[in-house]
Chain A
């Protein structure tokens, strides 16, 4: 058999193998296209129009006008909505992400020591994740309420004043963040836990023999070896925090005084309705998307560089 024929056969086999891989990927790609690529491009198109759902013939191309309006035209209500929404979203991201990464990390470190009953704690710490946002809010509302909420009732019994958790700042943010941590730390904890399991325990022993302290071991061995997990956790957490919606919407309804109205809460109602403006709504969504992409790229660059150093 000559070499050419062998090569040819090999190529055919390659194509065949790829084909079966593609056929496995196809259902996913189909759904990805229908529910992600298509709406993404459609949304992008809408953002350049003064869009009218009711009468397509009244839809007008306006170029970057929607973007200009939300970004620079301070006379427009959409400018006010966009910047207030973005400000509140960024506040939430900045406050929640460190906690959503730090707390699960610490907890998974404890669990990794495998103390007595660790499986039980691992389960109950993960459990809230399976709840839907509406049940989470239902549970927590009755903790935070004034006049009969659990925490406030406790405070009053102990002789303190009630705290308006859902109605005044900074309590409103505090409540939203506590709920978010309780609800979403599970997956991060599991990812960190898996990463910790993969770290060779002999490294710790060696370090201890060399006289390294626990803090030293943590910063010089655990953290660098957790870099891949850290990258995933950081990126997914930041993205999830940027698209926060359910917690402020259901818990504080954006109040007090629109101080917890995040961008998604402005975008959604603006997209539909008789006098709605889908063009402006999608342009806000695109700006939020761009911001999220930029932040994730910067993050992965930073973490990768640290990894190489």
Chain B
């Protein structure tokens, strides 16, 4: 009897399990005019900047009660793109998503994104190129179609310790010589303080790219092949690595964020860090200021002020089987609202890409952000669907150069170029 009961129990469990496995097929109902539209919005913003994003989404939802409801889902960056890669083809992706600007080209090339312009036309919502930072907006076209709208631009800058600078009666530097002189003065006068600690790992790829621009180099050439294995590339790599090995304003072998900790605890005069870390540096209660990386690595007359920048953009995945005109209009409304109200987002250290948002009194009142440099000096990655394959092999070589005083710049650049060419050969097949 007991056995029978047990078998019955197991049977029940099995049936429940099986039916649970079947999963629920979602049904799409035809939209009705005037009904609330629910949008699935995905992003990879999980840090302090994520809190600001939550706040902005709530603000949007409050402003569009009874019309549009945005449901936000966020996961960390590594899993985020994996999810997009796997779920969008399965038609289980979001209605609108955040994507880094340098990835837009390759996702558009794969056919994973919907062109924006037809949706703007059908919904009669105005998002105009001239209202955004021109270079960034233009970088989001792939084969003459617009695939993304920029939310922000983020970059790296030099944070300086105000207290130390004042103690030694030093001016805020405007070029490399002044920067090094200040670093050396403070390093000589203070025990335990470094002039400009640089982690070998991060954000060294940003620093190198900036240096590459300022030395007149290119990431990729017109055939979309690597172009950094050049005299300019060599000068760029040396200009960064020299700070550690020749100028000795940084200790060797700093790991990720060790430089940040040194700055936050007052053990560094200068610190090169992303604008996205602004909040965390404010929280450290250090008296600080920010100056741009312009004019710090190269002397090319046309480009010596340029700084590497990236952008978070809004994209519409090409999967929604239930995409209809009302939903398209809702997505466009959302994107327009978010970009134009990005002064809220700017609290997270991200500079709004929308000229409207940057012109607001709220944005103008925010401290530090202007220190990262003039908008026209921000330069986004060259456009190619194979940018990652062509350029990313240099990152680990930059780390090698920063970690070894006897590095050979030429060997490292050639190794990176060779790996890139092999990766490109596979990707283009």
What residues of chain A have their CB less than 8 Å away from a CB belonging to chain B? Answer: 19-20, 23-24, 26-27, 30, 34, 50, 53-56, 75-78, 80, 141, 145-148, 162, 164, 166-168, 253-258, 272-277
Residue of B nearest to A78 (CB): B426
Q: Which residues of A contact B201 (CB under 8 A)?
A: 253
**A77-B426, A274-B109 given; 4 more Cβ-contact pairs under 8 Å:** A162-B253, A255-B396, A275-B106, A275-B386
Q: Which residues of B contact A257 (CB under 8 A)?
A: 396, 400
Q: Nearest Cβ in chain A — how far from B396, in angstroms? A: 7
A277 near B426 with CB under 8 A, answer yes
Residue of B nearest to A30 (CB): B17
B82 contacts the other chain (Cβ, under 8 Å)? yes
B388 near A275 with CB under 8 A, answer yes
Among B21, B81, B86, the residue within 8 A (CB) of A53 is B86
Interface of B is mostly: helix
Roughly how many angstroms separate A162 CA and B423 CA in the complex, as a whole number? 37
- Residues 338-377 of chain B, each 1 if its beta carbon lies under 8 Å from chain A, else 0: 0000000000000000000000000000000000000000
B10 near A23 with CB under 8 A, answer yes
Q: Which residues of B contact A168 (CB under 8 A)?
A: 403
Q: Which residues of A contact B389 (CB under 8 A)?
A: 275
Roughly how many angstroms separate A268 CA and B393 CA in the complex, as a whole number? 17
Roughly how many angstroms separate A272 CA and B110 CA in the complex, as a whole number? 13
Q: Which residues of B contact A273 (CB under 8 A)?
A: 81, 85
Q: Which residues of A contact B399 (CB under 8 A)?
A: 255
Roughly how many angstroms separate A19 CA and B4 CA in the complex, as a whole number? 12
Q: Which residues of B contact A34 (CB under 8 A)?
A: 21
What would 16 A/B residue contacts be, using CB atoms closer than 8 Å? Answer: A20-B7, A27-B13, A27-B14, A50-B429, A76-B422, A77-B423, A146-B255, A148-B261, A164-B403, A167-B403, A257-B396, A274-B109, A274-B112, A275-B385, A275-B389, A277-B426
Q: Nearest Cβ in chain B — how far from A203, in angstroms? A: 43
Q: Nearest Cβ in chain B — how far from A29, in angstroms? A: 11
A145 near B258 with CB under 8 A, answer yes
Roughly how many angstroms separate A273 CA and B107 CA in the complex, as a whole number? 9
B422 near A145 with CB under 8 A, answer no
The range of chain B's interface size is: 35 or more
Contacts A53-B85, A255-B399, A272-B85 given; does A80 touch B109 at CB 8 Å: no
B200 contacts the other chain (Cβ, under 8 Å)? yes
Residue of B nearest to A270 (CB): B426
A274 near B85 with CB under 8 A, answer yes
Interface residues of B in 253-307 (CB under 8 A from A): 253-255, 258, 261
Roughly how many angstroms separate A20 CA and B8 CA in the complex, as a whole number? 11
Q: Nearest Cβ in chain A — how far from B108, in angstroms? A: 9
Among A50, A80, A141, A164, the residue within 8 A (CB) of B253 is A164
Q: Which residues of A contact B252 (CB under 8 A)?
A: 146, 164
Contacts A146-B251, A162-B253, A274-B110 given; does A258 touch B422 at CB 8 Å: no
Contacts A78-B426, A146-B252 given; does A274 touch B7 at CB 8 Å: no
Number of A-B contacts (CB under 8 A): 99
Q: Nearest Cβ in chain A — how far from B156, in angstroms? A: 20
B72 contacts the other chain (Cβ, under 8 Å)? no
Roughly how many angstroms separate A172 CA and B14 CA in the complex, as a whole number? 49
A54 near B111 with CB under 8 A, answer yes
A26 near B85 with CB under 8 A, answer no
B3 contacts the other chain (Cβ, under 8 Å)? yes
Q: Nearest Cβ in chain B — how far from A132, in angstroms? A: 15
Q: Which residues of A contact B21 (CB under 8 A)?
A: 34
Contacts A80-B422, A256-B403 given; does A145 touch B255 at CB 8 Å: yes
Residue of B nearest to A147 (CB): B251
B14 near A26 with CB under 8 A, answer yes
Q: Which residues of A contact B425 (CB under 8 A)?
A: 76-77
B1 contacts the other chain (Cβ, under 8 Å)? no
B6 contacts the other chain (Cβ, under 8 Å)? yes
Q: Which residues of A contact B188 (CB under 8 A)?
A: none
Roughly how many angstroms separate A145 CA and B252 CA in the complex, as a whole number? 11
Q: Which residues of B contact A20 (CB under 8 A)?
A: 3, 6-7
Q: Which residues of B contact A162 (CB under 8 A)?
A: 253
B89 contacts the other chain (Cβ, under 8 Å)? yes
Residue of B nearest to A253 (CB): B201
B227 contacts the other chain (Cβ, under 8 Å)? no
Q: Which residues of A contact B258 (CB under 8 A)?
A: 145, 147-148
B89 near A54 with CB under 8 A, answer yes
Q: Nearest Cβ in chain A — how far from B273, in angstroms? A: 17
A23 near B7 with CB under 8 A, answer yes
Q: Which residues of B contact A148 (CB under 8 A)?
A: 258, 261
A272 near B396 with CB under 8 A, answer no
Q: Which residues of A contact B111 (CB under 8 A)?
A: 54-55
Q: Nearest Cβ in chain A — how far from B236, in angstroms? A: 20
A146 near B89 with CB under 8 A, answer no
B426 near A26 with CB under 8 A, answer no
Q: Which residues of B contact A254 (CB under 8 A)?
A: 396
Residue of A nearest to B399 (CB): A255
Among A30, A255, A274, the residue within 8 A (CB) of B103 is A274
B11 contacts the other chain (Cβ, under 8 Å)? yes
Q: Which residues of B contact A77 (CB under 8 A)?
A: 419, 422-423, 425-426
Contacts A24-B10, A272-B81, A272-B86 given; does A54 touch B253 at CB 8 Å: no
Interface residues of B in 402-423 (CB under 8 A from A): 403, 419, 422-423
Q: Of A23, A75, A277, which is in contact with the most chain B CB atoms at under 10 Å from its CB?
A: A23
Residue of B nearest to A149 (CB): B255
Roughly how many angstroms separate A78 CA and B426 CA in the complex, as a whole number? 9
Roughly how many angstroms separate A287 CA and B309 CA in the complex, as a whole number? 41
Top 7 nearest A-B pairs (CB, nearest first) are A77-B422, A146-B253, A275-B427, A274-B106, A23-B10, A272-B85, A54-B89
Q: Nearest Cβ in chain A — how far from B284, in angstroms? A: 16
Q: Nearest Cβ in chain A — how far from B136, in angstroms? A: 20
Residue of A nearest to B14 (CB): A26
Residue of B nearest to A277 (CB): B426
Roughly how many angstroms separate A193 CA and B196 CA in the complex, as a whole number? 53
Q: Which residues of B contact A277 (CB under 8 A)?
A: 426
Residue of B nearest to A168 (CB): B403
